């Protein structure tokens, strides 16, 4: 019970910090590019209007950056304190990308940021523009390393476990860097940041239109943001499709939870809209299987026939496994090398995981006793069963199921809001073309309301990715439970409260300064 | 005579910081935040558990024991 509470609190703290950090990062990344586009117009046309426009959005960028900067470091504090088993176990694989990111960010921030903010009239126009573009690209390169580290946790490759050090050691840097999950995640996340910044620019500009102020500034800002946002959103959707494809191959349980799908069929449908039956509880599968079987998975379900099969395998009749199918195994699937495989039941994987853990214990004992033969034997067993290592920590098969309602609703909220933003960008471009942007109050209000919606959308995406992969910190290799340190629950609870207070103050400070600057307007 | 490169870089930053308006408030927020993070949170609430072991072998042994016991 104490452990469960420590796990929940540590997860809550990590989630709180990461989600707070993610309030700031996307706007910084996306706005950097929009500012660079505006400044490019300034350099090309020599029209002072664009300089004034770019400078205003730079102020918004600076406020957001100042409040958000270094909040991500708190996550690194937590690795050492709350997740020390994990941070040791991942070895240099996690450390190397984070170190590259840290060094890169430092040099970037101390040089090009300074030119961007202090360099007006001190360096040439072109040098200033180059700095602005370098800041924009620098922010996405920073994101790249973080996402590579995260992708490795979702799809661990390019490493070998060393039982002497209890660490996963990097043996193929390029395999980690070019992991299909990492590349997809990078494109999906960065273009998502572009969409967020575009919606924020459209929303703030619409506020000026609503107030009948800064007409030209607002219309031109909206024009750039709507086109940039729509192009980015198309890439978000394309990479989201790629994400689903990879999740189906590497994390099928996450996909099953995203769809709230317990039992599947050939030609698997996709849920376009649904409400889950709250009485369908997977933990009953082992304790009261009859009650479990009697409950339908959905109260309301509008599905597209064969949609999921088409999405994840580009074929109409593919079998996409549901939660129970994955637990029971026995279905056939095509592995990463294109070979047909029969899925192993979770109980079988649990046995192999226990063997892997016992082999590690045997290895340790043999090493202490100086028994070379024993070491060899244990190592061979460990290597053979290492792909199932994490299953050794699983107590019962249903423990590998993430929280279905949270994953399901987050996924569908994200998708529905994604659809809404296509309409928003399309409508904005249409109104701009027809020179109607200033006319409709309802549009201005819709655009302003879209700002919180775009943040809900991106946070929902993060929840799908991170809650959906539970109970793993490293897919199939390490569970969240086994990743924990021996820190006390009360210490974690104290810091959770402290973070909550600190973050609330920071957010209030950001919003206060932001509203003040927006109120003054670009003319100030 | 033209100033040296170091002096020009110094003046660039010095004048930049001096002419800040909104930036001053933002820097104050950044410094308070860094103070809380690195001088309060990190030393008092976020001690690295494995730092209590001095050698790599001890750290590895501790983690292996945790993993085996977790089983």
pLDDT band at A4 (very low <50, low <70, confident <90, very high): low
Sign of the torsion formed by the C-alpha atoms of A458, A464, A470 and A473: negative
**DSSP states of chain B:** -PPPHHHHHHHHHHHHHHT-SHHHHHHHHHHHHHHIIIIIIIIII---GGGGS-SHHHHHHHHHHHHHHH-
Across all residues in chain A, what is the average pLDDT?
91
Whether the predicted pLDDT of A53 surpasses 70:
yes
How far apart are the CA of A42 and the nearest CA of chain B, in angstroms?
22
Nearest by CB to residue A357, choosing from B46, B51, B68, is B68
CA A179 to chain centre: 16
- Three-state secondary structure readout of A314-350: CCCCCECCCHHHHHHCCCEEECCCCCEEECCCHHHHH
> Higher confidence at residue A486 or residue B68?
B68
Nearest by CB to residue B23, choosing from A62, A74, A80, is A62
Segment A489-507, tens digit of pLDDT: 888 888 889 888 988 998 8
Strands A298-304 and A472-474: unpaired
Chain A hits for B43, Cβ within 8 Å: none
Residues 6+ apart with CB under 8 A from A238: none
Nearest Cα neighbor of A67 from B32, B38, B40, B45 is B32
Segment A403-460, tens digit of pLDDT: 999 999 999 999 999 999 999 999 999 999 999 999 999 999 999 999 999 999 999 9
Nearest Cα neighbor of A223 from A430, A365, A389, A480 is A430
Restricting to A residues 461-500, those with a Cβ less than 8 Å away from any Cβ of B are 481-482, 485-487, 491, 494-495, 498
Rounded average pLDDT over A302-328: 92
CA dist A307 → A251, A258, A341, A415 (Å): 18, 14, 23, 15
pLDDT band at A1 (very low <50, low <70, confident <90, very high): very low
Structure tokens at A355: 């063997």
Nearest-angstrom CA–CA distance, A477 and A485: 17
Does the CB of A303 have a partner CB in chain B at under 8 Å? no
Does the CB of A512 have a partner CB in chain B at under 8 Å? no
Nearest-angstrom CA–CA distance, A358 and A503: 43
Q: Which of A9-18, A214-223, A506-515, B62-71 has the lowest mean pLDDT?
A: B62-71
Whether the predicted pLDDT of A2 surpasses 50:
no
Where residue A166 falls (left for φ over 0; alpha for ψ -120 to 50; beta otherwise) is left
Nearest Cα neighbor of A389 from A484, A482, A478 is A478
How far apart are the CA of A86 and the nearest CA of chain B, in angstroms?
9
Per DSSP, A123 falls in state S
pLDDT at position A185 is: 94
> Higher confidence at residue A95 or residue A501?
A501
Nearest Cα neighbor of A477 from A159, A173, A252 is A159
Per DSSP, A122 falls in state T
CB A470 within 8 A of CB A253: no
CB A463 within 8 A of CB A407: yes
pLDDT band at A333 (very low <50, low <70, confident <90, very high): confident
Nearest-angstrom CA–CA distance, A447 and A424: 8
How many Cα atoms occupy the beta-carbon half-sphere of A101 within 13 Å? 21
CA dist A396 → A198, A250, A346, A350, A360 (Å): 46, 21, 9, 8, 21
CB contact under 8 A, A166 and B51: no
Chain A hits for B60, Cβ within 8 Å: 88, 164-167
pLDDT at position A66 is: 85
pLDDT band at A192 (very low <50, low <70, confident <90, very high): very high
- Three-state secondary structure readout of A274-305: EEECCCCCCCHHHHCHHHHHHCCCEEEEEEEC
Does the CB of B10 have a partner CB in chain A at under 8 Å? no
Reduce the DSSP state of residue A306 to 3 states and report it.
Answer: coil
CB A322 within 8 A of CB A262: yes
pLDDT at position B71 is: 59
Reduce the DSSP state of residue A474 to 3 states and report it.
Answer: strand
Please count the residue pairs, one from chain A and one from chain B, whose beta carbons lie less than 8 angstroms apart. 114
Structure tokens at A100: 């590259």
Q: Which residue has the tokens 């958000």?
A: A68
Nearest-angstrom CA–CA distance, B24 and A506: 16
Segment A173-182, tens digit of pLDDT: 899 989 999 9
Peptide bond into A133 cis (omega under 30): no
Q: Hey, which residues does A341 pair with through a beta bridge? A: A333
Does the CB of A346 have a partner CB in chain B at under 8 Å? no
How many Cα atoms occupy the beta-carbon half-sphere of A134 within 13 Å? 18
How far apart are the CA of A71 and the nearest CA of chain B, in angstroms?
9
pLDDT at position A477 is: 95
CB contact under 8 A, B64 and A393: no
CB contact under 8 A, B45 and A491: yes
pLDDT band at B70 (very low <50, low <70, confident <90, very high): low
Does the CB of A514 have a partner CB in chain B at under 8 Å? no
Segment A263-310, tens digit of pLDDT: 998 999 999 999 999 988 888 887 877 888 888 899 999 999 999 999
Nearest by CB to residue A165, choosing from B48, B56, B71, is B56
**DSSP states of A59-107:** HHHHHHHHHHTTTTHHHHHHHHHT-HHHHHHTHHHHHHHHHHHHHHHHH
Segment A203-257, tens digit of pLDDT: 999 999 999 999 999 999 999 999 999 999 999 999 999 999 999 989 999 999 9
CB contact under 8 A, B45 and A354: no
Nearest-angstrom CA–CA distance, A271 and A311: 12
Domain count, chain B: 1
Nearest chain A residue to B37 by CA distance is A74
Chain A hits for B11, Cβ within 8 Å: none
Percent above pLDDT 90 for chain A: 67
Q: Which of A48-62, A373-387, B30-44 has the lowest mean pLDDT?
A: B30-44
Boundaries of domain holding B28: 5-70
CB contact under 8 A, B30 and A509: no
Segment B13-27, tens digit of pLDDT: 888 888 878 888 888
> Higher confidence at residue A326 or residue A506?
A326
Complex prediction ipTM = 0.84
pLDDT band at B57 (very low <50, low <70, confident <90, very high): confident
Q: Which residue has the tokens 């042994």?
A: B61
Per DSSP, A168 falls in state E
Whether the predicted pLDDT of A462 surpasses 70:
yes
Structure tokens at A499: 């973070």
pLDDT at position A524 is: 67
CB contact under 8 A, B23 and A117: yes
Across all residues in chain B, what is the average pLDDT?
84
pLDDT at position B4 is: 84
Chain B hits for A361, Cβ within 8 Å: 68, 71
> Higher confidence at residue A336 or residue A391?
A391
pLDDT at position A155 is: 92
The C-alpha angle A62, A63, A68, rounded to 5 degrees, equals 100
What are phi and psi for residue A436, nearest 5 degrees?
Answer: -115, 10
Q: Which of A86-100, A352-366, A439-453, A462-476 has the lowest mean pLDDT?
A: A86-100
Structure tokens at A404: 């279905």
Nearest-angstrom CA–CA distance, B48 and B52: 8
């Amino acid at each position: 019970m104490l452990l469960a509470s420590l796990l929940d609190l540590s997860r809550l703290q990590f989630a709180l910090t990461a989600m707070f950090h993610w309030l700031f990062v996307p706007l910084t990344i996306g706005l950097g590019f929009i500012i660079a586009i505006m400044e490019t117009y300034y350099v090309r046309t020599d029209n002072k209007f664009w300089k004034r426009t770019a400078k205003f959005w730079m102020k918004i960028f600076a406020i957001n950056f100042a409040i958000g900067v270094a909040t991500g470091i708190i996550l690194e504090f937590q690795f050492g304190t709350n997740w020390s088993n994990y941070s040791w176990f991942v070895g240099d694989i996690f450390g190397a990308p984070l170190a590259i990111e840290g060094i890169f960010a430092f040099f970037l921030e101390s040089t090009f940021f300074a030119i961007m903010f202090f360099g007006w009239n001190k360096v040439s126009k072109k040098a200033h523009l180059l700095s602005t573009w370098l800041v924009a690209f620098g922010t996405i390169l920073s994101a790249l390393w973080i996402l590579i580290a995260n992708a490795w946790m979702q799809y661990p490759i390019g490493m070998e476990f060393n039982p002497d050090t209890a660490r996963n050691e990097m043996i193929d840097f390029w395999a980690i860097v070019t992991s299909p999950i990492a590349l997809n995640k990078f494109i999906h996340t960065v273009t998502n940041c572009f969409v967020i910044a575009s919606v924020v620019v459209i929303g703030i500009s619409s506020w000026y239109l609503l107030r009948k102020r800064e007409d030209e500034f607002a219309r031109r800002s909206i024009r750039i943001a709507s086109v940039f946002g729509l192009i980015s959103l198309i890439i978000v959707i394309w990479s989201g499709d790629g994400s689903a494809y990879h999740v189906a191959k590497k994390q099928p349980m996450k996909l099953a939870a995203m769809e709230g799908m317990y039992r599947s069929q050939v030609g698997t449908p996709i849920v376009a809209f649904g409400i889950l039956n709250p009485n369908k509880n997977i933990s009953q599968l082992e304790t009261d299987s009859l009650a479990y079987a009697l409950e339908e998975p959905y109260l309301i379900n509008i599905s597209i026939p064969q949609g999921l099969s088409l999405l994840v395998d580009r074929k109409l009749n593919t079998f996409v496994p549901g939660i129970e199918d994955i637990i029971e195994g026995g279905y056939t699937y095509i592995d990463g090398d294109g070979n047909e495989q029969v899925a192993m039941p979770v109980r079988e994987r649990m046995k192999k995981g226990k063997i892997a853990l016992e082999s590690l214990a045997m290895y340790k004992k043999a090493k202490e006793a100086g028994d070379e033969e024993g070491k060899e034997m244990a190592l061979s067993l460990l290597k053979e069963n290492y792909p199932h290592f994490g299953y050794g920590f699983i107590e019962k098969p249903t423990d590998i199921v993430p929280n279905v309602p949270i994953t399901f609703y987050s996924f569908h909220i994200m998708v529905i809001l994604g659809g809404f933003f296509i309409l928003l960008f399309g409508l904005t471009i249409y109104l701009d073309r027809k020179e109607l942007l200033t006319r409709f109050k309802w549009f201005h209000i819709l655009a302003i309301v879209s700002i919180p919606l775009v943040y809900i959308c991106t946070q929902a995406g993060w929840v799908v990715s991170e809650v959906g992969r539970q109970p793993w910190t490293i897919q199939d290799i390490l569970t969240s439970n086994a990743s924990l340190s021996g820190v006390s629950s009360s210490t974690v609870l104290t810091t959770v409260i402290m973070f909550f207070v600190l973050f609330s103050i920071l957010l209030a400070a950001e919003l206060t300064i932001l509203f003040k600057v927006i109120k003054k307007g670009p003319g100030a | 005579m033209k100033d040296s490169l170091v002096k020009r870089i110094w003046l660039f930053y010095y004048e930049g910081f001096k002419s800040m308006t909104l930036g001053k408030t933002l820097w104050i927020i950044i410094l308070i935040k860094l103070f809380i993070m690195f001088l309060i949170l990190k030393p008092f609430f976020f001690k690295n558990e494995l730092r209590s072991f001095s050698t790599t072998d001890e750290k590895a042994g501790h983690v292996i024991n945790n993993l085996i016991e977790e089983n």
